[in-house]
Chains A and B, each alone.
Chain A
């Protein structure tokens, strides 16, 4: 009997391995894109004033909502509540933004939220902007705020790249975890972050002043 000589060819195994490698490669590519926001110089990829301004108007709604604006007051006392009233007991900003003497933010604001209505919301880094750069949101028009945010002399010395990374700041995110009984900003954190990055990457245009 004559057998035809054949070679073993593990087609199935090779296919499975190829699929696994493709998935790993795809995932690592995805992670690289994510970390690029923090580590790689951001290039403005698509200057588009219409897209940029549209995104900023979403950003503006969030930044002027109570959870953000209350700690970016025009004066030296933080604001409180959805009506942006002056903070009870009028704590002062202090030079570093962390309060003064026996009235420092962290004397009452714990590292995390605590249970119960009307208890002080928590964050390990609770503070206002410092006295030498107040980064005021209260009373700013969309045009003024956009210009303020892109200018390192008024935005906390941040580059565009650092501005994008700032969306991941713990105190920024705390706006969406404000403790019992407080409203959250008018869109989800994910929507805000997308609008923030879109605004910057499409040119960080300021809406027209009216």
Chain B
């Protein structure tokens, strides 16, 4: 039995310690906002926060997560009021939406560590998150808007 802290809630899960966190989130706990894309840390769809860092849950062993804090897209904010979520709605960023949870989780680390990111900062930080619909330009704009909302205290 492994105890996990996910979105500030403790869960006891009876799974093989080698199981990737993504499978536990989706199949065991029903937190399906985090998506399976490639399974080898190449696309970013499965990005979650582990002790505040944007890790790829598809290659993160669940045993390595015990005793640490996991935040998924469901737990990024209580009511969808994170500056990124506001900006994403404002600019209507998603097309199919599949990658967007991962995009937002990566962007959340960026604007936490860099309050006023340049386009280059955004491109460097988001290069590991792939969008098959090609919404990159709206993602970039929305991150700039979110940073602005954040700077204004939103």
A residues contacting B by CB (< 8 A) are: 88-92, 100-104, 106-108, 110-111, 114, 116, 118-120
A144 to chain B, nearest CB (A): 29
5 interchain residue pairs of minimum CB distance: A102-B106, A101-B125, A102-B54, A108-B41, A101-B110
Give the distance in Å from the alpha carbon of A111 to the alpha carbon of B64 in the complex.
9
Give the size of the chain B interface in residues (CB under 8 angstroms): 26
- On chain B, the residues within 8 Å of A92 by CB distance are 124
User: Which residue of B40, B42, B107, B125 is within 8 Å of A116 (Cβ)?
Assistant: B40
Interface 1/0 per residue, B105-124 and A, CB below 8 Å: 11101100110000001001
Q: Is the interface of A mostly helix, strand, loop or mixed?
A: loop
A107-B53 in contact given A88-B42, A119-B59, A120-B40 (Cβ < 8 Å): yes
Q: Which residue of B lies closest to A107 (CB)?
A: B55
B18 to chain A, nearest CB (A): 8
B125 touches A103 (CB 8 A): yes
Is B71 among interface residues, defined by CB-CB distance under 8 A?
A: no
Give the distance in Å from the alpha carbon of A88 to the alpha carbon of B38 in the complex.
14
A208 to chain B, nearest CB (A): 41
- On chain B, the residues within 8 Å of A120 by CB distance are 40-41, 59
A91 to chain B, nearest CB (A): 7
Those of B37-96 within 8 Å (CB) of chain A: 40-42, 47, 53-56, 59-61, 64
- On chain A, the residues within 8 Å of B129 by CB distance are 102
B123 to chain A, nearest CB (A): 9
- On chain A, the residues within 8 Å of B61 by CB distance are 110, 114
- On chain A, the residues within 8 Å of B42 by CB distance are 88-89, 118
B64 touches A90 (CB 8 A): no
A103 touches B127 (CB 8 A): yes
Q: Could you list 11 A-B pairs, sorted by A, with CB under 8 Å? A: A92-B124, A101-B121, A103-B125, A104-B53, A106-B53, A107-B53, A107-B56, A110-B64, A111-B64, A116-B40, A119-B59
Is B33 among interface residues, defined by CB-CB distance under 8 A?
A: no
A100-B125 in contact given A107-B53, A119-B59 (Cβ < 8 Å): yes
- On chain A, the residues within 8 Å of B56 by CB distance are 107-108
User: Which residue of B47, B53, B59, B128 is within 8 Å of A114 (Cβ)?
Assistant: B59
B128 touches A118 (CB 8 A): no
Give the distance in Å from the alpha carbon of A118 to the alpha carbon of B42 in the complex.
9
Is B142 among interface residues, defined by CB-CB distance under 8 A?
A: no
A119-B40 in contact given A101-B109, A102-B109 (Cβ < 8 Å): yes
B59 touches A102 (CB 8 A): no
Those of B4-20 within 8 Å (CB) of chain A: none
B126 to chain A, nearest CB (A): 7
A91-B40 in contact given A107-B53, A111-B64 (Cβ < 8 Å): no
Q: Which residue of B lies closest to A122 (CB)?
A: B59
Residue in A100, A101, A116 with the greatest tally of chain B CB atoms within 10 Å: A101
B40 touches A103 (CB 8 A): no
B79 to chain A, nearest CB (A): 24
- On chain A, the residues within 8 Å of B128 by CB distance are 89, 91, 102-103, 107-108
A105 to chain B, nearest CB (A): 11
